[in-house]
């Protein structure tokens, strides 16, 4: 999506006022994923949701530490059953269920999820609902191509070689797999030097 200066200013303002990413996305009327991607690229830090608590319309829904059982599946997914006492019934939003089971919705996606309610009696608290939450999650597969490209381009600093010559020919430079993430400039320095010499010959357009 195209971001305006006003939207970016609003993102910074909401982050400085202590809002979470979810709350900020709701206030701005944009998707959570879009806000998350832009905030990450701008280096904006939001308030993190309180541990063992999920926020839905500013309620006081708090959970005690969950009794969790995790099974790893052959396809890389994980099946989780968590028992916990909650003051209020949770909604079945994937984000809510994953957070209650201790998963970061930014890194995992839910394949399926549901819960059952039981009554637990206590001399201290009286009758308190106990929830058995059952979900299956799998790791997210990474950024969409558009967000990845924007993340790369956002940090690119153009280099001006001061080329004064031009020419009638066009130059196409094929790039190999550069293994971004562990390739260093030292690894590419010789190749960049060779490219600079070629470019300085002068061309009409370089791709």
Write down the domain spans for the chain.
5-42, 67-139, 157-206
The rounded distance, in Å, linking the Cα atoms of 135 and 121 is 26
Quick one: pLDDT at residue 48?
A: 63
pLDDT at 52 over 60: no
Give residue 18's pLDDT band: very low, low, confident or very high (50, 70, 90).
Answer: confident
Quick one: pLDDT at residue 163?
A: 66
Instruction: Give tens-digit pLDDT for 75-112.
Output: 878 898 888 877 677 778 888 888 888 888 888 899 99
Reported pTM: 0.38
List CB contacts of 131: < 8 A, sequence separation 6 or more: 83, 84, 85, 86, 89, 90, 115, 116, 117, 118
Residue bearing the bigger pLDDT, 200 or 120? 200
Q: Which helix (H) or strand (E) holds 33?
A: helix 32-42
Quick one: pLDDT at residue 205?
A: 86
pLDDT at 129 over 60: yes
């Amino acid at each position: 999506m195209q971001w305006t200066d006003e939207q970016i200013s609003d993102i910074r303002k909401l982050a400085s006022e202590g809002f979470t990413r979810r709350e900020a996305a709701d206030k701005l009327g944009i998707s959570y994923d879009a806000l998350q991607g832009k905030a990450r690229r701008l280096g904006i830090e939001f308030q993190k949701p309180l541990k063992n608590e999920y926020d839905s319309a500013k309620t006081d829904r708090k959970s005690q530490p969950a009794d969790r059982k995790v099974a790893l599946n052959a396809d890389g997914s994980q099946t989780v059953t968590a028992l916990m006492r909650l003051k209020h019934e949770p909604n079945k939003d994937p984000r809510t269920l994953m957070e209650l089971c201790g998963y970061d919705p930014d890194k995992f996606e839910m394949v399926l999820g549901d819960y059952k309610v039981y009554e637990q009696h206590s001399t201290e608290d009286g009758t308190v609902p106990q929830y058995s939450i059952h979900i299956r999650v799998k790791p997210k597969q990474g950024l969409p191509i558009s967000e990845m490209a924007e993340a790369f381009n956002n940090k690119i600093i153009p280099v001006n070689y001061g080329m004064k010559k031009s020419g009638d020919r066009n130059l196409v430079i094929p790039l190999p797999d550069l293994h971004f993430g562990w390739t260093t400039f030292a690894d590419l320095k010789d190749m960049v030097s060779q490219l600079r010499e070629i470019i300085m010959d002068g061309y009409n357009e370089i791709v």
